[in-house]
Structure formats: C-alpha cells, structure tokens
C-alpha cells in the first residue's frame, strides 16, 4: 500500500499564460480533458502565485489533481492518490500516455512528457540517488533486514535484478551483483597479493575481505566500526562475503570492530607497516569546496594511511561517480598536498547497483 504520484507536463506559448482570455481557454481545455479521463472530477480551489495559476481538483478514489501554469509556458499536472495492494492503479503508464497525448493535442502544446508513477510510503524504499543526485528507481520487492546501529540506519532489501542490496543511511552500498566493484577496487589481475600484509578500512559487507582471501595474502586486518553491518551481511549477503564474517579471526585474517582512526593511530605508534591499505569508507564528498567534516576525515585517513604503508605499498580506494568530475578533481588536489609526495592511477567500472560508472584510485609514494 503506497501513495502513487503521476507527473506529466507540457509547454504552450508564453502568451497563452499571460493573456487573460487565452489563459481562461487553456484552463477550460485542461478541465475538459481531465473530465474525459477522471470520473467525478470536481474543482476544489484555484489561486494565482507570481504570475502562475494553480487549480486543484478532486477525483475518483480520493485523488488530488494539481494543475499549475507557469508564466514561461510550462504547465504541470500532478495526480496523487493512495493505492491499496488489492486495488488496480488509477492510471497505468499507458493510460497516462493517453492523457498526455490528449492534453498535448487539445492545448496545441509544443512538447509534452510523462514520468512513470512515483511510489511513496510502504515497508521499503524504491528510490536512491546517483552520485550527482539524479533519481533512480529500483525493482525492490522486499525488505530483508532493518536496524539502526549507533552509527547509521542499516537495511538490506531484495532487488529482482540485483539480488540483496545493502543500504546504509538510505544510500545504496553493495549488492550481490557488484563483484565488479570489489575486483576493480582491488585491481584483480593487476596486483599480486600473495604473501602480502593488508589492512581494510571499513568494508563491513565482507566482499573485499572475501575476495582478498582468495589471493593467498599473508594476513588481512579489517577495521569496521559497525558490527550491525557485519552481522547483517554475514546472514543475508553470503554470496559476496562467504563465511569470512562468521568469526572475527581466521588463519590469515582478523576483523576488529572499532574506530579505524584509533586503530591506525595505534599502528603508527607501534611502527607497523603494510603492503596494502584499502579505503572502503565514505565516498568523496560532493561539495563546492574541499571543506567540512567529511573532507577533514578524508585528509586524516590519507595522511594516516601513508604512515602505515611500506615504501613500496599502495593505498587503494574508491572515489565517486564519473559524473562528479569536480569532486574527483578536489580529491586529486588533496593527494598532491599530503605530508609525503604521492602518485596515483585511476580505473573505472560500471557498478550495477549504482547504475553509473565509478572511479577507483591506486595511490603510492613517489
């Protein structure tokens, strides 16, 4: 049971909105077309705001229909109603397209467009943003797990095409279809992990740890702050993490639940060094300048990581979507200002659950 919102719009000449007689004719035309598609349509209220007109109608099954005409010639029509599971949709995509076609013809519009129905409410969310804040709808059909840890909201939902999907604070994080993410992050086939000592910062879904263990490293330490994520993925994401999250220590790995910054500080004090450090933490922030808590955290991680890497070691991390070049450029500028000179390479891969191309970095000392 969810609220359905149907959105369509069309464009007319600006003088149709500006001229009182033409605007009145347009309103009548819109009302006539709506009457043909909605039984029991009734005007509810009308207002004018900053040169635009707004008309509200009530329709069948408690629907509310909003019509707004802007001075620039854009006219939007929003239809909202509550759909119970046993009900048929008031408007299918096909019938909405029919409404759009009729409205465009009657209003002699220069263009028109219809969006698929937006569904809001219910036991799980269907919509998540891309890195540059475009809206994606997922084919999610079930909430598998939900809890709020001391650090974040943790959910695992099921997608018909992606399998189980880990969602942290309502952002898509990792799905069962995302092996390409892990393989690109670790540069599988390009890096040799045999006999190497490795640290993972974050990585609570276990995917990176599981794939690294297949490469026969000497030892891997995973530092993850959120035990709720670890336990949830151990139970519901086993296709990506195998059984490596079932226990905190194995023959050649250890999972430490705690603050990775404190752990890194302790490693620095002990003089420990590693062949690889993986940053599987927060994405590069999307901002106009590299300031704020998130950027401060990234700088802290970068500088601390350089102190625990062997001279020949590498820091491997993910960046953000390729559609955010400004944020990626700011991150690369931060790399040039670290306490030790570094060089970096980049790779990219299309990540199924992100529905976009993602950038990955490999950073090493000069």
Half-sphere exposure (CA, 13 Å, Cβ side) for 147? 12
Q: Please, are residues 89 and 19 in contact by the beta-carbon 8 Å criterion?
A: no
Alpha-helical regions (H) of the chain? 14-18, 20-37, 93-106, 179-185, 207-213, 227-236, 238-241, 260-270, 293-308, 325-335
Please choose, from the candidates 251, 229, 256, the residue with its C-alpha nearest in 3D space to the C-alpha of residue 241. Answer: 229
Q: What angle do CA 329, 334, 336 make, to 5 degrees?
A: 100
Q: Please, are residues 138 and 127 in contact by the beta-carbon 8 Å criterion?
A: yes
Specify the 3-state DSSP secondary structure of 121. coil
Q: Please, are residues 41 and 59 in contact by the beta-carbon 8 Å criterion?
A: yes
Asked if 259 is an active-site residue, the reply is no
Residue 25 CB: number of other CB atoms within 10 A? 13
Alpha-helical regions (H) of 222-324? 227-236, 238-241, 260-270, 293-308
**Choice among 205, 280, 283, 293 that is catalytic:** 280
User: Active-site residues: which are they?
Assistant: 280
């Amino acid at each position: 049971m969810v609220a359905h919102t149907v959105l369509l719009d069309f464009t007319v000449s600006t003088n149709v909105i500006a001229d009182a007689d033409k605007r009145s004719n347009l309103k009548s035309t819109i009302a006539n077309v709506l009457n043909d598609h909605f039984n029991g349509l009734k005007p509810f209220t009308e207002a004018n705001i900053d040169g635009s007109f707004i008309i509200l109608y009530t329709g069948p099954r408690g629907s509310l229909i909003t019509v707004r005409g802007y001075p620039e010639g854009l006219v939007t029509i929003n239809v909202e109603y509550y759909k119970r599971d046993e009900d048929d949709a008031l408007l299918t995509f096909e019938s909405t397209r029919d409404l759009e076609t009729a409205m465009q013809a009657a209003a002699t519009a220069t263009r028109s467009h219809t969006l698929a129905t937006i569904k809001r409410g219910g036991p799980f969310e269907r919509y998540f943003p891309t890195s540059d804040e475009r809206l994606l709808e997922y084919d999610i059909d079930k909430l598998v797990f939900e809890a709020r840890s001391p650090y974040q909201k943790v959910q695992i939902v099921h997608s018909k095409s992606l399998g189980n999907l880990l969602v942290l604070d309502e952002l898509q994080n990792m799905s069962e279809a995302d092996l390409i993410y892990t393989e690109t992050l670790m540069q599988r086939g390009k890096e040799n992990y045999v006999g190497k000592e490795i640290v993972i910062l974050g990585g609570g879904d276990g995917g990176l740890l599981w794939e690294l263990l297949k490469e026969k490293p000497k030892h891997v330490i995973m530092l993850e702050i959120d035990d709720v994520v670890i336990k949830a993925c151990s139970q519901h994401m086993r296709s990506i993490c195998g059984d490596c999250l079932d226990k905190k220590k194995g023959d050649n790995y250890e999972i430490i639940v705690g603050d990775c910054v404190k752990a890194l500080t302790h490693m620095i004090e002990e003089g420990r060094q590693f062949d690889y450090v993986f940053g599987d933490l927060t994405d590069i922030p999307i901002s106009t300048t590299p300031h704020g808590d998130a950027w401060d955290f990234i700088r802290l991680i970068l500088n601390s990581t350089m102190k625990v890497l062997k001279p020949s070691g590498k820091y491997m991390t993910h960046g953000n979507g390729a559609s955010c070049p400004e944020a990626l450029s700011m991150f690369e500028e931060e790399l040039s200002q670290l306490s030790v000179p570094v060089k970096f390479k980049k790779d990219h891969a299309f990540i199924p659950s992100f529905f976009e191309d993602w950038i990955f970095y490999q950073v090493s000392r000069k």
